[in-house]
Chain A
Amino acid sequence: MKEKIDISAADLDDVLLVIRNNYGYDFSNYSRASLIRRVLRFMDTARIKTVYDLRFHLTNEPAFFAYFLQTITVNVTEMFRDPAFYHSLREKVLPKLAAYPIIKIWHAGCSSGEEVYSMCILLEEAGLLNRAVIYATDINPANIEKARSGIVPMHYMKDYTANYQQSGGKEDFSTYYTARYENALIRKDLRRNIVFSQHNLVTDQGFNEFQLVCCRNVLIYFNKTLQNHVFHLFYNSLPPMGYLALGMKESLLFTDLRDKFETVDATAKIFKRKK
């Protein structure tokens, strides 16, 4: 039987402090329940047996920290994940965005890019891609590298095609990528207006104003305090009537800004900044 490693709340605090002091990343306001699972999972894959060893390696080996950072964030994503959300974007948001001469969109926490490619496809189909600039950011540099490559594992394409169709997509999905052995390469022209960069929602400032901020399934990893901080960041990055899209299980319930937004689609979790 595999022996169980465990880590106490105080141990976790110590580890987070080591990271903050050495590398400036502050995970102290992340959801603990999920973070503990990630740390235990990391220790398991990296074959680290004790918290003492974990702290030792984190303190002394920057490359070890880079590996830690890569695995500690939850990077799972999909193209056209939650088809109902994309359907709502098509119907309720894109027609409004069409009024702007330049459409600026921010994907905060874009992971390996699948969500961004999906947005580009929607924009292309709505005839808006030419006028759009899509900023795709993530805390995890390994994710940004992947997202830049435009490569998606081929074996997911069947699921993504189904998602796309459920979202109201009418085109032949296979025209959006070229298959190369086990990889699918998303067409380069679809990606032409994406700007990738590393950005940490905990410590970095806003950097532009956007007609749409998409931050899906990132806030669930933050506690209420940090969620509120990020909502302020988004609020200040939106013009009046600018859109904010969250994950299906995320809400504005716990931010003091909840009255400053109106609901565009309650199930798809699309909101709009009031005047």
Chain B
Amino acid sequence: MPTSIDHIIVIGGSAGSLPVLLQVLENLPPNFSIPVIVVLHRLKNVASDLQGILASVQQTQKIKEPEDKEAIKRRHVYIAPQNYHLLVEADKTFSLDYSEPVHYSRPSIDVSFESVVRVFGPKTIAILLSGANQDGADGMEAVVAANGVAIAQSPETSEYPAMPVAAIEKNAKVKSMAPEKIVEYLHQLTVE
């Protein structure tokens, strides 16, 4: 495993994605150290304890909403805060952004994917889960264009397949995987 931050995993999800996200996080290998960024669509001004929910299944990684300009660290799972877009700077710190929603969403998955890939290029691993809209499809395209890894939850395992389907249809290089396969893939990353 690399010592400084090299690879990054960024997971986007909307309706129906939470159980899959929990499954993926719960089954991360214990020595997993690649930072993970989670961008989930949530309801505005409705307090939801996403951090607590994720922490209940994953105790070896530190789970938090990043502060603006905080450095990305290994063994951390970062949650995009409600009502902001989450971006990444060239020096591998976070920036928050309160610009217009994209696809009616803030945080938007496209915005984070595109920003992450600008910095991490081919070292980006993007995972797009269940959802009922189109957010993430452009971002996945950018990941593919930069020779990163773009994984969509397989439509037949998605409670709401529209979001993964949009990404898959937009780009043939997006890999479609069932949740167990995503877990396997992440395990094999640690071995390499």
List residues of A whose CB falls within 8 A of some B CB: 9, 31-34, 36-38, 74, 76, 83, 162-163, 166, 217, 219-221, 223-224, 227, 247-251, 253-254
Q: List 18 A-B contacts (CB under 8 A).
A: A32-B89, A33-B89, A33-B115, A34-B87, A34-B95, A34-B97, A34-B99, A37-B97, A37-B99, A38-B99, A76-B100, A83-B45, A221-B97, A223-B69, A223-B89, A248-B81, A249-B65, A249-B84
Using CB atoms, name the residue of chain A closest to B89.
A33
Contacts across chains A and B counted by CB atoms under 8 Å: 66
- Whether B95 lies near A33 (C-beta < 8 A) is yes
- Whether A249 lies near B118 (C-beta < 8 A) is no
Mostly helix, strand, loop or mixed at chain A's interface? helix
Among candidates A9, A220, A224, A253, residue contacting B96 with C-beta atoms closer than 8 Å: A220
Contact with A along B86-103 (1 / 0, CB 8 A): 011110000111111000
9 closest cross-chain pairs (CB), A and B: A33-B87, A31-B95, A74-B99, A34-B97, A220-B96, A220-B68, A249-B96, A217-B98, A33-B95
Given contacts A31-B89, A76-B98, A249-B96, contact A37 B111 (CB under 8 A): yes
CA–CA, A220 and B81, complex, Å: 13
Q: Does B70 contact A (CB under 8 A)?
A: yes
Using CB atoms, name the residue of chain A closest to B65.
A249
CB distance from B85 to the nearest CB of A (A): 8
Q: Which chain B residues lie closer than 8 Å to A247 at the CB level?
A: 98
Q: Does B67 contact A (CB under 8 A)?
A: yes
CB distance from A263 to the nearest CB of B (A): 14
Contact with A along B41-67 (1 / 0, CB 8 A): 000010000000000000000000101
Among candidates B68, B89, B90, residue contacting A219 with C-beta atoms closer than 8 Å: B68
Residues of B in contact (CB 8 Å), total 22
List residues of B whose CB falls within 8 A of some A CB: 45, 65, 67-70, 81, 84, 87-90, 95-100, 111, 115, 118-119
Q: Which chain A residues lie closer than 8 Å to B89 at the CB level?
A: 31-33, 223
- Whether B67 lies near A253 (C-beta < 8 A) is yes
For the complex with contacts A31-B89, A38-B99, A74-B99, 6 further pairs of A-B residues with Cβ separation under 8 Å are A33-B90, A33-B118, A74-B98, A227-B69, A249-B67, A253-B67
Q: Which chain A residues lie closer than 8 Å to B111 at the CB level?
A: 37
Most buried by B among A9, A33, A217, A251: A33
- Whether B68 lies near A251 (C-beta < 8 A) is yes
Given contacts A33-B89, A37-B111, contact A254 B45 (CB under 8 A): no
CA–CA, A250 and B45, complex, Å: 18
Using CB atoms, name the residue of chain B closest to A77.
B98
CA–CA, A219 and B88, complex, Å: 15
CB distance from B48 to the nearest CB of A (A): 14
